Amino acid sequence: MRRALELAVTRLGHTSPNPVVGCVLLDADGSTVAEGRHLGAGQPHAEAAALAAAGPRARGTTAVVTLEPCAHQGRTGPCADALLAAGVARVVYAVPDPVPGHAGGAERLRAAGVEVVGGVLREEAERANELWLTATRLGRPCVTWKFGGTLDGRSAAPDGTSRWITGPEARADAHGLRATHDAVLVGSGTLREDDPHLGLRHGVSGRPPLRIVLDRTGSIRPGARVLDDAAPTLVVVGESAARPELPNGHTVLALPETGGRLDLTALTAALYERGLRSVLLEGGARLAAEFASLGMLDRVVAYVAPVLLGGGGRAVLDEFGAGTLSEALRLRLDEVARLGDDVRLVLRSRPLAGGEEPEEAP
């Protein structure tokens, strides 16, 4: 199963609106017959890819797959039927399929006499496919807030300088994180102050995420770095704003406004409708606070540098509005890693759904 998970996560950032899935076929001695992974929407599912690689050798094997084989006819056929047709004798999966109308593959396989074991390494598999699973369960993209800051919670000095608070290892890791998401999002304040590019650098390869800029008044500068041709950009404006003229085929989305702010619930609904299942929020402090106040911060990835700036610098979070300790948003600290001189913290607003014991030992 861990090998199947390794295969799955290589496709993070490439499969939306589909999940990342890996599959390994084993013979009676436990030796690998074939492997497969889902490459992207419209491509064969992981099980079908592994079966195609195995050919007739698939008969009698055990299929180990990170997500319950689907029972749904979409752009590709049901994986449960493909496994039955290939003569697979046993199926071990990690996470039940949460999509209405797609689940039921395990039941179909059992009804046909195939031995099925579910829940194996479920918690690890939930984490590997966390972005898609969160989006599917909530009906909106999974939102990760990423920031780099000092030990005392500052993202810039009083004079506005911020490069570089964190070291090269943390910056490279942050670009790797960016590559796993469907979109990267900033507000107009960050656009004015930092003129970010939001592409992939520091040796990170892969498909650049969609760049999203919240610009309620439609005042984005024609020469802004996000308007180059390195990746597509979506500029989100208020319904009453003038539509900016954008180069390089970039697009504009108009949204309702609430209290002089763009409606973030409408934003996430529109992004989900466009097939986006994960958004990396990179700025700024007020925008992150707004997502937090709406209960739409699913993960926080914080790069903390051993630096003290004291008062007067730019805070990493502003205007969140907790008036007393009991109103604070408490997060689960799940991961800690040292990156050079810095520390990366991964926190979640809710526990993963996994952790159940498997139905039986594989």
Say how far apart CA 334 and CA 326 lie, in whole Å: 22
User: How confident is the model over 183-200, as pLDDT tens digits?
Assistant: 999 988 888 888 888 887
| Residue 47 appears among annotated catalytic residues | yes
As annotated, the binding site for Zn(2+) includes: 45, 70, 79
**4 φ, ψ to 5°?**
-60, -40
Largest CA distance in the chain: 69
205 exposure class (CB count in 10 Å sphere: 0-12, 13-18, 19+): exposed
As annotated, the binding site includes: 45, 70, 79, 148, 162, 164, 178, 190, 194, 198, 201, 282
∠ CA 252-255-256 to the nearest 5 degrees?
160
The rounded Cα 272 to chain-centroid distance in angstroms is 12
**pLDDT (average), residues 41-56:** 94
**pLDDT (average), residues 316-334:** 82
Say how far apart CA 84 and CA 79 lie, in whole Å: 9
Catalytic residue among 6, 35, 47, 290: 47
Residue 229 has pLDDT above 80, yes or no: yes
As annotated, the binding site for NADP(+) includes: 148, 164, 190, 194
* Tokens coding 362: 């594989």
Instruction: Calculate helix-pair angle for 79-86, 46-54, nearest 10 degrees.
Output: 20
User: How confident is the model over 233-281, as pLDDT tens digits?
Assistant: 999 999 988 888 898 889 999 999 988 889 999 999 999 999 999 999 9
Percentage above 90 pLDDT, the chain: 61
19 DSSP 8-state letter: P
Say how far apart CA 37 and CA 28 lie, in whole Å: 22
Contacts of 133 (CB under 8 A, 6+ apart): 19, 95, 98, 126, 353
What pLDDT does 145 receive? Answer: 95
- Indicate the CATH number for domain 2-128: 3.40.140.10
Contacts of 179 (CB under 8 A, 6+ apart): 12, 13, 200, 204, 205, 206, 207, 208, 209
Asked if the peptide bond before residue 17 counts as cis, ω within 30 degrees of 0, the response is yes
**169 φ, ψ to 5°?**
-65, -45
∠ CA 118-66-120 to the nearest 5 degrees?
35
As annotated, the binding site for substrate includes: 162, 178, 198, 201, 282
Q: Is beta strand 314-315 parallel, antiparallel or unpaired with respect to 154-156?
A: antiparallel
- What is the CATH topology of the domain spanning 134-348? Dihydrofolate Reductase, subunit A (3.40.430)
Q: Domain boundaries in the chain?
A: 2-128, 134-348
Lowest mean pLDDT among 60-64, 108-112, 162-166, 228-232: 162-166
Mean pLDDT across the chain: 89
pTM: 0.88
Only one residue has tokens 């014991």, namely: 357
User: How confident is the model over 124-150, as pLDDT tens digits?
Assistant: 999 999 999 999 999 999 999 999 999
Say how far apart CA 227 and CA 216 lie, in whole Å: 17
Higher pLDDT, 355 or 221: 221
What pLDDT does 275 receive? Answer: 93
- Show contacts of 201-205: CB within 8 Å, 24+ apart: 201/175, 202/168, 202/171, 202/172, 202/175, 203/172, 204/172, 204/175, 204/176, 204/178, 204/179, 205/179
Say how far apart CA 217 and CA 171 lie, in whole Å: 31
